[in-house]
Structure 1
Amino acid sequence: MDIYSLSVALTLILLPVVTLSYIRNDYHAFLSLGPGGTPATPFGYMKIKLLSLVCLRDPLRPLPIPPHFRPQKGYLSSLPARAGNRPLVQGIAPQRQRTEKSSMDVYKGLVSGMRRLINDPANSLLERTSCFEKNSSGIFSSEPITRTCGGEVCHAHPSDGSMHMTLHPADVKIILEKGWGERHPLARGGWCRRFVPREFVLVYAPRNEKEIELVMDIISAAVWWVSGVDVKKDGAEKRGLDTYVGDYVASQDECKACRRHTCGSKAVEKMTGDM
């Protein structure tokens, strides 16, 4: 047997072994992300690999603001830059932060801040099982004006302290530029809207009390975008946003149906949990 024939034979023998080894390791990496919106099964893994073909190639690139959006400006007027490098983020569904996670105390502080928003009746917010994750709790608007899954504003990940939420495109731009998060891999609009909104982002886990305050400001921006409520104002001034145009306006019947079929049928799982 000549050298060429030997090389071909070795390739035919080794290629399946290498391929199976890669798939095995990649599958276990998928499982290591923990529970999320995709079943931790071989079928779920195959689904994610197919979706990876249409993912955003640059999750740090801001999305444009459609000219029909009202208002054109977002909620966040300014935001200090996040110190240090960006953490390592992996996965699609679930998508998780793998480094610089919140400590238990910091995560509890974040959850306490979220619950203060929910416990104020004037904010018209609820705690429900996340429509997107289905394994953690999130903040929902009882009167959403922007289309998300059942009026979901955001949800927290007990395993790392990061969050997913939907924001005005102008606020997404600030988050990206200041290093506080990145766009979800499927947040590209069009056909992918069946999975997540185009304005869906991952906000990095806070690392201390000061960063909890900054993340709460970002959550306030998400509440404002989804519900039109400014949680930092009082009385009639809370309802500072009541005009959207285009297909971003939420149908109340649609939101109720989504809550009934996707969220309301499940028991609420608390935002607190083992880290």
Structure 2
Amino acid sequence: MRACVHDYHGWLNLGEGGLPYNVGGWVIQWILKLTMAKRNTIDIECYARPLPADLTEVEKRRNTIKHLGPLLQRLGSRPKVAHWVIPHRQVREKPPSRSLIQVSACRHAFQSLANERQHVATICTSVLERHGSGLFVLDSTKAPAVAVQSRGEITHFHESDWSAHATLSYPDCEEVIQKGWGERHGLSGSLLPLGYTLLYAPESEADVQVVQSIMAAAVEFMTGETGAREGSVENCEYTI
């Protein structure tokens, strides 16, 4: 019982995200973890497996298009990720003094990406996290089949630790994981799209640029369009 209480308080310390912020949410998390979660979240073999037979040829090709260019290898070892699957968070020490600059850079990168892609994507409250901002496909008719699982959500930052999630094409997932910039979500390929990926929190402004480029690749995959147009993002009109 003491171990359960300790685990529950550790889960609460992650902050809110995706599930009710109470004992019920903690129990649901453990049910999902024990019945559906993958243990090896840096395995990339899953992306080479045959795609579901019910996908059209267009959808199959869409999942195998590479949008990212070659990434630099991320410096240092992979950060520790909490063992709970929801919320899916990086375990970090208290942010260093430079984190104010980092936070500002992350927010600016997210808003800039949204402004550049405002013709295909829009910002509203994350449906996966149930709070905070997420970037969504603007036109659901152009979204891939996996958008149904994410309810049109493309990517979001977590303001608790500034890690992020993004839904990527399979080759882009491989690039991100192999170069040390992220890992699979434990529920990817079951409750969540197979390409749903955790992006580690940036440790520098250069890292922020890399994460922004990965998010941009997610936008291209989820909207089917490339390139940027200047503009502003006002509200969310996406429905699915």
TM value normalised by structure 1: 0.72
Residue in 1 aligned with 2:88? 95
Deviation at 1:212, TM superposition (A): 1.1
Residue in 1 aligned with 2:239? 256
Q: Does the CA-based 8 Å contact 1:123-1:231 persist in structure 2?
A: no
Identity of aligned residues (%): 31
3-state SS of paired residue (1:70): helix
Residue in 2 aligned with 1:86? 78
CA 1:176–1:120: 2 relative to 1, 3 Å: closer
Deviation at 1:76, TM superposition (A): 1.2
**How far apart, in 2, do the equivalents of 1:159 and 1:122 lie?**
26
- Taking the TM superposition and a 5 Å limit, the aligned residue runs for 1:1-275 are 20-53=1-34, 54-62=36-44, 63-65=46-48, 66=50, 68=57, 69-71=60-62, 72-90=64-82, 91-99=84-92, 103-120=99-116, 123-144=119-140, 145-146=143-144, 147-148=146-147, 149-187=150-188, 189=189, 192-193=190-191, 196-232=192-228, 256-257=239-240
**How far apart, in 1, do the equivalents of 2:126 and 2:223 lie?**
16
Equivalent residues, number: 213
Farther-moved stretch of structure 1 (205-214 vs 117-126):
117-126
Aligned CA-pair RMSD: 2.0
1:139-173 deviations in Å (ceiling 9; x for gaps): 11202412323321101111111001100011001
RCO higher in structure (CA 8 A, sep ≥6): 2
1:84-125 deviations in Å (ceiling 9; x for gaps): 011111121111111276812212212212212222365422
**How far apart, in 2, do the equivalents of 1:118 and 1:153 lie?**
11
**How far apart, in 2, do the equivalents of 1:52 and 1:27 lie?**
14
Q: Does the CA-based 8 Å contact 2:17-2:130 persist in structure 1?
A: yes
Deviation at 1:73, TM superposition (A): 3.1
Residue in 1 aligned with 2:233? none
State the structure with more CA Rg.
1
Name the aligned partner's letter for residue 94 of structure 1. P
Unaligned stretches of 5+ residues in structure 1: 1-19, 236-254, 258-275
**How far apart, in 1, do the equivalents of 2:117 and 2:78 lie?**
36
Farther-moved stretch of structure 1 (111-120 vs 37-46):
111-120
